[in-house]
Amino acid sequence: MSVAVPKPAGSPLDRSVTTLYGVGPERTAQLARIEIHTIEDLLLHRPHRYEDRKRMRTIAELALEEPAITRGKVMAAGVKWFRKHTKSIFELVLDDGTARLHCRWWNLPYMEKYFAIGDEVLVFGKLLGLKPRTIDHPETEVIEGGEESLIHMNRITPVYPLTEGLPQRYLRSLIWRTLNSFESQIQEPWSVNVGQTAKKPTMGSVQYEAASLLPSRARAIHMLHCPEHAHEPELARKRLALDEFVELQRKIQIRRRNFATKAEALPCGGDNRLIKPFLARLGFKLTEAQTQVLRELRKDMNGAHPMRRLLQGDVGSGKTVVAACCSLMTLESGHNVVLMAPTEILAEQHWMNFSKWFAPLQIQVELQTGSRKTRSGAGSKNFSGATAREAGASAGDANGIGADRKPPRLFIGTHALIEPGFVPENIGLVVIDEQHKFGVAQREQLLHKGHYPHLLVMTATPIPRTLGLTIYGELDISTINHAPRGRGRIKTFIRDSAHLPKVWDFIRSKIAEGRQAFVVYPRVEETSDNGVKAVTKEFNSIQESLASVPVGLLHGRLQTEEKERVMAAFRDNQVKVLLATSIVEVGLDVPNATVMLVENAEQFGLAQLHQLRGRIGRGAHDSFCILVAGSKNAEARRRLQVLEGTEDGFKIAEADLKIRGPGELLGHQQSGMPRFRFADFSADLDLIHQARGMAQELVAAKP
């Protein structure tokens, strides 16, 4: 079997909704607000739920707290005002012959104008009380007679997301009519011909069989709006999600193919002359996982096409050393290396580590951040510490070979590296640390400073497979799956703010034992009286209560010098407690710190808390992560319990994905992404695999 894309033709579905009967400028504007611009957008507008209106209950049959649908005739309607005309209740009384139902809306007096005595009204909601039978803020629809009611009644009826001024019945009718006239023109974006290529009895063909069990695109869109059975909307969703994944994977494959034909790699495998002494002096042996990953990297760096690789490994798994080895291969091969990190303090930490590591190897390491143009570290005394700008200006004579060429070096920095002022020559390797904090565009900008350099991106945010294949589809993935041995354990606790005095006693005892602590607050300054603690306000009171213990304060609004001073003091164990915002979330490595206290933990995402927890547990002592939940919110607590239960970053990432959706992760990456209306990233791994295989065939079939 094979897949093929039909010839593109100007599709009538691409026309604007304005061309539809009954859609004037006002409706067009309303539809645009819910991102419906074309006829296709309209046909892909996904109901947020369905009502089985064949199975309606009588009012007498309604049960407490159970969502259900019923109908009745309006007997009375009216608004009651109170509190000096500042508050109101609009009440509607319905009767269907079995019982009466009171529907109430708080502070929405204009609801009155939607109903008239004698109207037949559909009601969807949960019964709150029986005496009288009451539903607050139900969804309603006035039933109108005539032929149109077929669209709205006696079937599994779709209920669509709306915007202000756009009535449910109008939109449902519009979609129904549009579907009737355009269904026959919905084309397959790709076609599956079963039984044509029996050449490869691989996993792929099995998977396509599953794909060919899905309905056609036209049928799927029909099922989406007019399902005859309860399972049909999910079947439709799957088919339409598959189309989204195929579209994305096709783009990815085409880009990969273009890349492979255009880009020739610089040979950067090195000759071990720097790596050997580096590893000998390192003070620890690489783990098996690190060695294995290095083998993969070296193969890429010697390959015909530039490396495009993602290195993922949980917090503390030891990615930095791997990046250092990869850098050394490049430097051995005579090319420069650029390493970008998302925060100044992390860039500085890397600069210090790499300077220390590379100094004995006579390799110069330079720091380039927004506030500090360039600082040269270590390396041989011959270097003047010229700014990167100067280095770029003298690139003319640096392009040559042999004696004229400057010895290769390593540039470390923040986003400042992307700025036009930074013009290094001869880049062999670009490393991006904590990649999830950058967008694809930034990555590309940095890559374009060289001529197809190798690329290594690193992340400690474990990405669920579904998203990995979506966001990082263009990259090969290596994983460090085991942390170095000899680490203390991390225990995680969730505590009420009432327990804070005890928590502080505990922190004091750990400091007395010689350890250090991070204390993280969600905000720099108190913004309102919502009870969310801010770091500056707490600083004084904590300093007071800890008396003789030195406390440091760190947040994004401090001057660079101040940040560096505080970080240095914490690293040197002079400051014992570091009060900070989530600025310390990524990358920091202070093994003597064994306590992480997070205040208002419910304000952070799970993946973010996992990163924060990753700041501890880096040394031999046992560590303690204490999450203080300020709110009584049971939901928030349940979320935090995921962290209590596991240290496995992947499990946490999956849980985060289920709870918060892919928005945040996808959001960073916008360029080139299709609009995902139907994709379900916590369930569609199979579909994504199918889509990959199909996209491969599609792209291969096209010269």
Q: List residues near ligand ADP by CB under 6 A.
A: 284-287, 290, 313, 315-321, 460, 484, 589, 591, 618
Q: Pick one of ligand ADP, Mg ion, none as the site partner of residue 342 (Cβ within 5 to 8 A by kind).
A: none
- The Cα diameter of the chain in Å comes to 99
Q: Pick one of ligand ADP, Mg ion, none as the site partner of residue 321 (Cβ within 5 to 8 A by kind).
A: ligand ADP
How far is Cα 23 from Cα 1, in angstroms, rounded to an integer?
43
Q: Which residues in the 38-97 window bind Mg ion by CB under 5 A?
A: none
CB of 637 to ligand ADP, least distance (A): 28
Task: Pick from 72, 318, 450, 587 the residue near Mg ion by CB under 5 A.
Answer: 587
CB of 453 to ligand ADP, least distance (A): 21
Question: Which of residues 413 and 662 has its CB atom nearest to Mg ion in the complex?
Answer: 413
Question: Which of residues 217 and 319 has its CB atom nearest to ligand ADP in the complex?
Answer: 319
Burial code (b: 16+ CB inside 10 Å, e: under 16) for 334-357 equals bbbbbbbbbbbbbbbbbbbbbbeb
Contact by Cβ (8 Å): 305, 265: yes
CB of 324 to ligand ADP, least distance (A): 9
Question: Which of residues 106 and 284 has its CB atom nearest to Mg ion in the complex?
Answer: 284
CB of 619 to ligand ADP, least distance (A): 8
Residue whose beta carbon is closest to Mg ion: 587
CB of 433 to ligand ADP, least distance (A): 7
How far is Cα 238 from Cα 220, in angstroms, rounded to an integer?
9
Q: 3-state DSSP call for residue 282?
A: coil
CB of 185 to ligand ADP, least distance (A): 53
For 673, counting Cβ atoms within 10 Å of its Cβ (0-12 exposed, 13-18 middle, 19+ buried), the class is: middle
Rounded to 5 degrees, φ, ψ at 372 are -130, 100
Q: Pick one of ligand ADP, Mg ion, none as the site partner of residue 54 (Cβ within 5 to 8 A by kind).
A: none
Contact by Cβ (8 Å): 701, 4: yes
Q: Pick one of ligand ADP, Mg ion, none as the site partner of residue 286 (Cβ within 5 to 8 A by kind).
A: ligand ADP
Question: Which of residues 178 and 312 has its CB atom nearest to Mg ion in the complex?
Answer: 312
Helical residues (DSSP H) of 614-679, grouped into ranges: 634-645, 649-660, 663-667
Work out the number of other CB atoms within 10 angstroms of the CB of residue 409.
19
Bridge partners of residue 520, in order along the sequence: 580, 598
Tokens representing residue 595 in the block? 């306590």
Half-sphere exposure in the Cβ direction for 435 (13 Å, CA): 29
CB of 315 to ligand ADP, least distance (A): 5
Q: Pick one of Mg ion, ligand ADP, none as the site partner of residue 484 (Cβ within 5 to 8 A by kind).
A: ligand ADP
CB of 638 to ligand ADP, least distance (A): 28
Beta-strand pair 67-82/120-126: antiparallel
Question: Which of residues 588 and 694 has its CB atom nearest to ligand ADP in the complex?
Answer: 588
Q: Pick one of Mg ion, ligand ADP, none as the site partner of residue 41 (Cβ within 5 to 8 A by kind).
A: none
Question: Which of residues 30 and 317 has its CB atom nearest to ligand ADP in the complex?
Answer: 317
Question: Which of residues 321 and 679 has its CB atom nearest to Mg ion in the complex?
Answer: 321
Taking Cα atoms as reference points, which of 656, 643, 317, 315 lies closest to residue 492?
643
Q: Which residues in the 372-431 window bind Mg ion by CB under 5 A?
A: none
Is 617 one of the binding residues for Mg ion (CB under 5 A)?
no
Question: Which of residues 316 and 392 has its CB atom nearest to ligand ADP in the complex?
Answer: 316
CB of 516 to ligand ADP, least distance (A): 14
Beta-strand pair 336-340/410-413: parallel
How far is Cα 533 from Cα 521, in angstroms, rounded to an integer?
6
How far is Cα 249 from Cα 470, in angstroms, rounded to an integer?
8
Question: Which of residues 379 and 587 has its CB atom nearest to Mg ion in the complex?
Answer: 587
Contact footprint for Mg ion (CB under 5 A): 587
